[in-house]
A and B are shown apart, each in its own frame.
Chain A
């Protein structure tokens, strides 16, 4: 008998994600990978390159742009496209822009709903995608813990948490009728720590905002918000302070809280992670809006 090989848990998670990606390409007519520029997207892009090697990923990438991402994120996005030459589609909800929707005046709920959820649905309909990869993980939030790896969406993009398809072994059911679609989550079984360890081991490039640096921030309702561009309205007497901060998660800059941290390298970030007791989404303003807010948003079509 040949000696057994011990696969690490990261090798197993990687294999599972690759298996899921290949499955989608084999079953879906027109798949797309959602690309949000964050660390999970970086991992997804890396895995997609692995899954189809020596071919390039056989699907386009889609960024649903709210126009309020950090400037660093836009620069990183362009760098990735230049380096890997993948097919990137950028969609902005022009109707929302015309209506003047923004995170300051419209509030986080309306802004997210119109610019992200509505924008995503518009893009999926526009290109006729029948399967969309997302980087969501089950450890992020409680309603995510029950979501399937292959998650069915109605023609109206709605999720029915009470009527999900049972998912057994590695047998995924991607079948759907015209107009219906699947959201697919290859990182379902990863934790935030797994993502960081994998980024470290595989030396995957990520947006610099994840590393601690001096940045101008103001306190808003207990959350540290970075003053990223001139669109940020300062309240009377409010002066941005330079603090050494970093971000555990990246979204729209006015809705993403920084944490005070001196972790400037991946090992330091991982060290911090090991001691952390709070969810990374704690920095997301939109999650605090109502009890079970994520589940509600997901039912309506949020990723």
Chain B
């Protein structure tokens, strides 16, 4: 320390304590911290780990990394400068990562003459911002790190301050893992210990609550119920294990349990879902793109995850929501993600260990993002999935085919249903089991309670998509013809299916051609005022940006269009 301090010398003859928190050679030369560093100190009652994370804007990723394991956040404010954009940004990240206890150290009070008024000003300004965020436990401490005021002992220079010193605060602050003992029991299964045929133990670190032999538990996501038999450790069996302990459970029944499953109490199971809304913090140079598939690690489970729509990006400084179709390095956004299989989870706000995740690039294996699960989309989220033996693959196998969806979108009168009929005839001739869905057969039955407002259109689209999903689960090939005017709804639909089983076909006609063809007399009716909100007249159509097949109907007949689609299916190996 002394040697290095003299060499860099940013503090004259005094020791520069920032050097203690700056590690690598490169950083020492640049005079900045570029990554998270962990330091340790202890008192008579506690051991502390300090995650030192830098404050520069481009290092959101490091802040989030450091904050992810913290029980308490210490935010430094310069008494001369007050609450800065940077202070707000850090406070937001602290809130986002769910750190419940925040100490704001108002430092360099010596440079503002230890003025109570200045401290009160900062406290008021910060208090307002904290309330806006929803930070509940905030303690402001006026101090001078250089002189040691209010660090360990109360400062003589600030007799007006009656709160705790920094160390008093730290010695008393609640530890998160202890709080988590009050949560429902969770054991993400890490590794199955099977040294011989007569011992099968499920190892893991308790991620919430506590467990005892005799407890009725459910193994998620599959939902088998059983009873905890023993809690095995090297030091003997335990009568009870609590959050934070690394244990091995044995179960009363021989059921199939593997890494990635979550053992939970029957009366308070984790949720199960395969589509979520989540906050994502992006940590890679290459941006997060909608539709890309990454590996998601949540608890002890690794699954493929596809980002469906990016709902919005957050401006961390103003907390404004901004429309976005990608997230760049250090951006924070709210997205929908779809998983390759259902997982057991809790919302992040309830449990960091079963609700926090990382995203991994499948090619480079880098950790490219981190995220927080909000809730499962779709109503299925409270219902554990039944373990069924006759599954999708079995049904499709019985038909000797691979299910997929051809989704035709376009203006009313573009020729979608006619093309769909022609495609279905061709597939039928090839011996494929198919089903055609269009606006007519859905709207007359399933959706007859719906009108044509934007909300009803979205709901109609959702129902059509879910029916399509059920039909493909039945092993069928579905040809769906829907106006489906909004790209967001089409993306939601696409997100229900695997990457190679969904073919979007844009049936593209110039509006005047559609009006002229008007096979169902809709445009005439709309012109006469008998039909409000007809797409193309009273309502907008958002053309797809990158459909798998783009049919320019100005120069194509119905039969030629159907041939184009069949050729595209062959090219993808679907036929």
Contacts and interface: CB of A to CB of B under 8 A. Distances in A.
A168 B65 contact: yes
Contact of A146 (B35, B69, B234, B356): B35
B243 to A, nearest CB: 9
A6 B178 CA distance: 7
A166 to B, nearest CB: 4
Given A23-B190, A169-B68, A7 B245 contact: yes
Interface in B244-263: 244-246, 248, 259
B494 to A, nearest CB: 27
A56 B199 CA distance: 13
Contacts of A222: none
A9 B45 CA distance: 10
Contact of A162 (B26, B234, B295): B26
B81 interface: no
Nearest to A10: B47
A79 interface: no
B203 to A, nearest CB: 5
Contacts of A52: 193
A237 interface: no
Contacts of B193: 52, 54-55
B205 A19 contact: yes
B542 interface: no
Given A19-B246, A162-B34, A171 B297 contact: yes
B203 A175 contact: no
B348 to A, nearest CB: 10
Contacts of A296: 25
Contact of B190 (A26, A138, A168, A176): A26
B340 interface: no
Interface stretch (A185-193, A227-235, A241-249): A185-193
A145 B37 contact: yes
Contacts of A295: 24-25
A15 B365 contact: no
22 contacts: A4-B178, A7-B242, A7-B245, A12-B177, A14-B246, A15-B244, A15-B246, A19-B205, A22-B190, A23-B190, A26-B190, A53-B234, A142-B24, A145-B23, A146-B38, A162-B35, A166-B61, A168-B356, A168-B367, A175-B295, A177-B365, A193-B42
B244 A53 contact: no
A18 interface: yes
A145 B47 CA distance: 16
B370 interface: yes
Contact of A15 (B69, B205, B295, B300): B205
Contacts of B297: 171, 173
A26 B193 CA distance: 10
A259 interface: no
Given A142-B24, A168-B65, A22 B203 contact: yes
A292 interface: yes
Contacts of A272: none
Contact of A145 (B39, B191, B283, B360): B39
B210 interface: yes
**Interface range, B side:** 35 or more
A7 B177 contact: yes
A56 B195 CA distance: 8
Nearest to A7: B244
A82 interface: no
Contact of A26 (B65, B242, B295, B300): B300
Interface string A38-79: 000000000001111111100000000000000000000000
B49 interface: yes
A15 B245 contact: yes
A292 B24 contact: yes
A128 interface: no
Contact of B24 (A50, A56, A146): A146
B427 interface: no
Given A15-B244, A22-B246, A49-B234, A166 B191 contact: no
Nearest to A4: B181
Given A173-B360, A189-B38, 18 more contacts: A2-B181, A7-B242, A15-B244, A15-B246, A16-B246, A53-B234, A55-B194, A145-B23, A167-B367, A168-B367, A170-B353, A171-B297, A171-B298, A173-B365, A173-B367, A191-B42, A194-B47, A292-B25
A291 B25 contact: yes
A170 B205 contact: yes
A287 interface: no
B168 to A, nearest CB: 19
Nearest to B241: A5
Nearest to A161: B24
A210 B59 CA distance: 43
Contacts of A6: 178
A165 B360 CA distance: 10
